[in-house]
Amino acid sequence: MTEQFKVVIVGTGFSGLGQAIQLEKAGIRDYLILEKAGEVGGTWRDNSYPGCACDVQSHIYSFSFAQNPDWSRSFSPRQEIFEYLKRVADSHRLRERIRFGVEITGAHWDAGARRWTVETKGGQEFSAQFVVSGVGGLHIPQIPRLPGIASFQGQAWHSAQWNHEFDLPGKKVAVVGTGASAVQFVPQIAPEVAELKLFQRTPPWLLPKPDHPMPAWTRRVFRQVPGAQRLYRGALYWSREARALGFTGPSWIMQAGQVLSRRHIARGIKDPELRRKVTPDYTMGCKRVLLSNDYFPALDRPNVDVITDGVAEVRAHSVVDGAGVEHEVDAIIYGTGFKVIDALDYLDITGVDGRDLAKSWATEGARTHKGITVSGFPNLFFLLGPNTAVGHTSVIFMIEAQARYVVDAIRLADSRGAEALDVRESVQERFQEHLQGKLAKSVWTQGGCKSWYLDAKGINRATWPGFTWRYWLQTRRVEPSDYELSGRS
């Protein structure tokens, strides 16, 4: 039998758990959370590679309503964040609302019933008035299509699917990619392996990471002095919020950052040729700006070779670079990131008149209203949807704003006695015109690089342009005139 709920939430990372808690606070308890894995945690459950940690201070990379005074470091390691999410789920008794091991394959809108039918890999169906996608954009590994990769007889894996059974010491390892994950795990494995061949397509801009242990006295103050941690959190928020100017403001801000990064390279690497290899030729901020204190010294090790000629071919026991040099390896590790712009392509989501979401976004671009709702797909909400990622601060701030907006939308429908609400296409287009007008002038578009922020047409479908407090202002309440309400409950 098809089970029926008022709300179905997909995913148990920060987004899914945060949405469930906001529903609870609003007294909406007829909901279900679907999770494909066997535990909560999202990306912090899946990514267990060596050195995995947050690049935003944990005191703001956490829920405002569930602050943790006991973070061990300013930038906490992955395991602490994972444990934090499990505690949040337990303290709010969310596990009884979660169906683990249930992977959705699609959702279809029934215009007559004004409900969604959510379909799963196991064949079970769920009927819901409202559906909230909390899957985010960092959960489907991006594996490059390398010629001959199927012939490789060694071990190969993506950083998000780390092979903890493989014995790295003494092995020859190829690492493909130099993104955020690689910057963290390369310094951890470089001292262990016999040889590390790092295949770099485009070097990232790196800045020193101001990480430090949290002293016992600060933890004690956060636990015992009311408001102390909230003040600290606020100071962190506004200090990071100022950095938004670098992405959309005067160019000299990022140029100053580049000076700091070049000094960071010079301190970490002695070899002038290697310094040249790892110095970007695009404007800082065009790609994700990374933080690390040990990446450059790791590249300067005698057993590490940075290769900038690309990968021409993979053979049974080796990788051939673009210059024709063959590198014998025992394992290949992909630090190549995730499918972000097309993160939902694998789902079959059809809205009004059978409109296909994936096909629509593929042809027209990922167009939404505030990154949350999509015209033609009533009662469907996205958390961390298109153009709501941020490069300067914590996405948890965005998630909380979106989760409250979803609750407000549900309340609007209920208060009007409506069964469905659908954002008007004219409203969505007006929002998109304003959004893309700002993004066209930003460093993500004008910085001289290609990145996962841009779709196939070179349009930024990932990031929010500017301050997050402005996004909060825009989402603090649902404007009824933005939506067409229909049906009677």
pLDDT digits (tens, 9 = 90+) for 288-322: 999 999 999 999 999 999 999 999 999 999 999 99
- 337 sits in the region (left: phi over 0; alpha: psi -120 to 50; else beta) called left
Mean pLDDT of 67-81: 97
Residues 329 and 343 in one domain: no
Residue 37 — very low, low, confident or very high, per pLDDT cuts 50/70/90? very high
Residue 344 — very low, low, confident or very high, per pLDDT cuts 50/70/90? confident
Residues 123 and 266 in one domain: no
The single residue listed with the structure tokens 């996962």 is: 452
Residues 346 and 425 in one domain: yes
- 8 Å CB contact between 415 and 478: no
Residues 194 and 258 in one domain: yes
Mean pLDDT of 281-290: 96
| φ/ψ (deg, to 5) at 324 | 90, 5
Domain end (from 304, 334, 364): 334
- 8 Å CB contact between 186 and 295: yes
Prediction pTM value: 0.96
Percent of the chain at pLDDT > 90 equals 93
Domain end (from 334, 356, 390): 334
Encoded amino acid at 483, one letter: Y
Whether the per-residue pLDDT at 464 is higher than 70: the answer is yes
| Residue 284: domain span | 149-204+243-334
Structure confidence at residue 403 (pLDDT): 98
Residues 6+ apart with CB under 8 A from 71: 58, 59, 80, 214, 219
Mean pLDDT of 450-478: 94
Domain end (from 318, 334, 350): 334
Mean pLDDT of 340-348: 76
**How far is Cα 318 from Cα 28, in angstroms, rounded to an integer?**
56
Residues 252 and 172 in one domain: yes
In 3-state terms, what secondary structure has residue 189?
Answer: helix
Residues 98 and 181 in one domain: no
Residues 162 and 125 in one domain: no
Average pLDDT over the chain, rounded to whole?
A: 96
Among the listed ranges 6-15, 343-352, 356-365, 476-485, which one has the minimum average pLDDT value?
A: 343-352
CA 468: distance to chain centroid?
A: 16
Encoded amino acid at 471, one letter: Y
**How far is Cα 313 from Cα 74, in angstroms, rounded to an integer?**
42
Structure confidence at residue 343 (pLDDT): 65
- 318-321/326-328 β-pairing: antiparallel
**How far is Cα 453 from Cα 386, in angstroms, rounded to an integer?**
10
Q: Could you give the dihedral angle defined by the CA atoms of residues 89, 94, 96 and 102, in that order, rounded to the nearest 10 degrees? A: -80
Residue 326 lies in a domain: yes
Residues 308 and 442 in one domain: no
- 8 Å CB contact between 322 and 333: no
Number of folded domains that form the chain: 2
The DSSP secondary-structure symbol of 353 reads: G
Mean pLDDT of 331-350: 86
Structure confidence at residue 489 (pLDDT): 57
Which CATH number goes with the domain that contains 165?
3.50.50.60
Residues 428 and 306 in one domain: no
Per-residue CA distances from 71 to 83, 229, 335, 351, 434 (Å) = 11, 11, 27, 43, 39
Residues 328 and 364 in one domain: no
